[in-house]
Amino acid sequence: MTVYHDSFPWLTIIGLIPLVGSFLLLVPGFADLAIKRIALLVSLVTLGWVAVMTADYNVHKAGFQFAQSTSWIGQFGIRYAVGTDGIGLVLILLVAVLVPVVILASWHDAEAARPTATSVRTFFSLLLAMETLMIGVFAATDVFLFYVFFEAMLIPMYFIIGAFGGPQRSYAAVKFLLYSLVGGLLMLAAMIGLYVQSVHQLGHGTFDIFALEKLHLSTGLQDWLFLGFFIAFAIKAPLWPFHTWLPDAGAESPIGGSVLLVGVLDKVGTFGFLRYCIPLFPSASKTFAPYVVALGIVGILYGALVAMAQRDLKRLVSYTSVAHFGFIAMGVFAFTSQGGTGAVLYMVNHGLSTGALFLVVGFLIARRGSRNIDDFGGAAKQAPILGGAFLLAGLSSLALPGLNSFVSEFLVLVGTFTRYRAAAVVATVGIILAALYVLIAYQRTMQGPLKAGLEKMKDLDVREIAVISPVLALVVVLGVYPKPLIDIIKPSVTATYDRANRHDPAPLDASACPLPGGYDGTGKTLPDFLTPAQYAAVKQGACS
């Protein structure tokens, strides 16, 4: 793997900007309004730096760019090493886009949830600290450094949920923390195993991902180490059946926390599949791929069916994410360029569409003081802009053609079909179910007779329009023209699979095999045109 070192510390500076802002907000003397403005300004400056770095990214270079590496804990071969390929870059960009949106959306949440003298200072400081850690986890190329960011993210999110969340916030925060810690301990054990192997095979211990990829691990050891990383990432994603912490955490977190939790933090799990599980453990990845695809299918169907049964708006959106992560995991472990590209694009699009849904739900809750779907009805009559935002966000979530999620979902299904046909066919049922849970929720909250108590419901104000507009604009733009992101993502996905010696399946070429009498020689590739004996020969590699 080629690593392009840069004399300018792009990623370090981008990570430091929100961290410095976080500490700045803790300095006594700032009024609440000044704290909010500083937090918003810092997040916008971070977004500007990320945009400039993205413009400088060379899509024609297959490898990691903007790389830096310096010794950190030399006795154990631990380095401060960062760099990014197209996969990490688009997720860093997602972080930079969503954090200013979350800050603006949470303008009054801290005082409402916890009316103390330091609540505003603490809340916005935690948001900026979260931004630094999320950028770090997508930029790290040293496994130990990644682990530090991976675990450190738990701290601010725990306090965001536990201090500023809903009525069951303590239970949800502890459950989120315990699940994540269990996964982190399993990954730590696997990391130690890799480190010991590096000492034996390389003569020195290292956590450098590119050096670890060169280790020769026995099949049994590789399987166990893979499971250590995989379970940690499956919990973080969350992939069914490791998902049970998400509905509670998503429902009890404040809206800004929910957007970051489900829109960004969960992507660390699916990102980890691509960044660590597949390149470090290629043989084990191949062995477990069918089982992961099966878990993805169950998650797609289970998440959609349970979402339809929800009466709590925030839990409904949380369960839809279980279904979406099933698609992402399926695309990653299909080991095709289309499936992998679609999965990474899905991570970005899911962050936008689910983020928009949570924002709209937050607007509804702020007006009604309830998360119960049955407390709404006919709301679009009183708040047509809010109703339109809900509809557009919902249509994006169900992958309507012309909106962002459609392209990623289509690529995942096409890429999966070339390797796991039955899985792709079954997964398409999830598309139908998604239409049901989104449209039923929209109908119950926005259509029909006006519910008593909503007569004076206000439409979106200027701040709320400023919050939701950029997200919905990206939903439309990326649905119509996703090429810029695909151009960044696809070379990196292909390179990742190449490092694991996984490639797109070659098409069956009937013209290259002995053909049955009467075949017209047009070179059709469907196995139905071959006799059973010829098809068996193709599967055994006797003909291409």
- 110 has a pLDDT exceeding 80: no
Q: Kindly compute the dihedral angle of the four CA atoms of residues 57, 63, 65, 69, in this order, to the nearest 10 degrees.
A: 170
For the chain, first and last CA: distance in Å? 29
**What's the CA gap between 53 and 527, in Å, rounded?**
47
| Average pLDDT taken over every residue of the chain | 85
pTM for this entry: 0.86
pLDDT at 526 over 60: no
Q: Which residue, among 32, 20, 19, has the nearest Cα to 118 in the 3D structure?
A: 32
Q: What is the pLDDT of residues 182-238, one digit of tens each?
A: 988 999 999 999 999 989 888 888 898 888 888 888 888 999 999 999 999 999 888
Euclidean distance between CA atoms 256 and 99, whole angstroms? 9
Q: How confident is the model at residue 454 (pLDDT cuts 50, 70, 90)?
A: confident
Q: 281 — phi, psi (to 5°)?
A: -130, 65
Report pLDDT for 537. Answer: 53
Confidence of residue 152 (pLDDT cuts 50, 70, 90): very high
| pLDDT at residue 116, as a whole number | 64
With contact defined as beta carbons under 8 Å apart, do 14 and 51 qualify? no
Whether 115 has a pLDDT exceeding 70, the answer reads no
pLDDT of 528 > 50? The answer is: no
DSSP notation for 251-262 = HHS-HHHHHHII
Question: For 329-379, what is each residue's pLDDT tens digit?
Answer: 999 998 888 899 999 999 999 999 999 999 999 888 888 888 888 888 888
For residue 48, the model assigns a pLDDT of: 94
Predicted confidence (pLDDT) per residue in 59-74, tens digit = 888 788 888 889 898 8
Length reported for the chain: 544
Residue 95, C-beta contacts closer than 8 angstroms, at least 6 positions apart: 50, 131, 134, 135, 138, 264
Q: Report yes or no: 491 and 86 within 8 Å, Cβ to Cβ.
A: yes
User: pLDDT at residue 520 above 70?
Assistant: no
Residue 442 pLDDT exceeds 60: yes
Closest CA to 352 of 324, 373, 331: 324
